[in-house]
Structure 1
Amino acid sequence: MIRNQVVDPLFPQCPVRNVLSRIGDHWSLLVLLALHDKAGTMRFSDFCKTIPDVSQKMLTSTLRKLEADDLLSRTVYPEVPPRVEYKLTKRGKTLIPLLNQLVDWSLENMDAIIRHREKYAL
């Protein structure tokens, strides 16, 4: 098995399960949307300001996974101190319209969903 490869034990060749298990985590969508909103590049500290409730460890892990999936790129500039910038890749940019649809749907439906949840003790 390749390091960081996501494999569903029941359906290892399923592309939907594979992709959703990577981008469906707690932080990946927020990172991708933040990058899109900045319309360019972001540094690690920019992510920390934009998504203040993510730990540095989780942010680092999330950025590495998104880079491994070619959804964002990481550029290190040989300066002192080193400057690292992240930006959406061509593949990452193709995902943004779908994420925006999900955001729009969420905004349109969240109030009704919350009201409906109140009927259940989850």
Structure 2
Amino acid sequence: MSEAPGGAGEGSFNPYSRACPSRRFLKFLGDLWTVLVIGALYEAGSPQRFTEISLRVDGISTKMLTNTLRALERDGLVLRHQYAEMPPRVTYELSPMGQDLANVLRDVEGWATGHMQDVLDARESYDVAHGE
């Protein structure tokens, strides 16, 4: 594991170093499904069942949602609650760390949707200028 100068603790990871685990984590955080699942759980404001999350995140496959929820749980961003009922019931919600991340991602989502027309205009201009 590669760490930035200064030793252990907050800020000791360096994503610009290829061996640093924060680089892989940033890649996961930048994944579309990760962002949307976190957003869906944040917007719901209460624990959600698998099907409820699936309905909120249009287009996600069952396999991808399963994999994303497992990875989020493993990283401590989502809490999974299994209830001893018949039929079995499982819910998911953001952990405190997941809530903190959701607040950051909400700003990114707002920026993206607020600038989407600018991005589309820039793409069109680029494509015209470059014959695409």
How would you bin the TM-score normalised by the shorter chain?
0.7 to 0.9
Q: Which residue of 2 aligns with 1:4?
A: none
RMSD: 1.7
Q: Distance in 1 between matches of 2:124 and 2:102?
A: 31
Report the residue type matching 2:37 in the other structure.
V
Q: Which moved more, 1:56-65 or 1:44-53?
A: 44-53
Q: How many residues align?
A: 113
**SS of equivalent to 2:85:** coil
The TM-score, its normalising length taken from structure 1, stands at 0.85
Report the residue type matching 2:20 in the other structure.
Q
Shift of 1:14: 5.2
Unaligned runs of 5+ in 2: 1-14
Greater C-alpha radius of gyration = 2
| Closer/same/farther in 2, CA of residues 56 and 14 from structure 1, 3 Å limit | closer
Q: Which residue of 1 aligns with 2:97?
A: 91
Report the residue type matching 1:88 in the other structure.
L
**After TM superposition, where is structure 1 displaced by more than 4 Å over at least 4 residues in a row?**
none
Identity of aligned residues (%): 35
Unaligned runs of 5+ in 1: 1-7
Q: Distance in 1 between matches of 2:82 and 2:115?
A: 41
Matched, 1:58 2:64: yes
Matched, 1:26 2:39: no
Taking CA–CA contacts closer than 8 Å with sequence separation of 6 or more, which of the two structures ends up with the larger relative contact order? 1
Q: Which residue of 2 aligns with 1:11?
A: 18
Give 1:29-108 correspondences, 5 Å limit. 29-108=35-114
Q: Distance in 2 between matches of 1:40 and 1:12?
A: 37
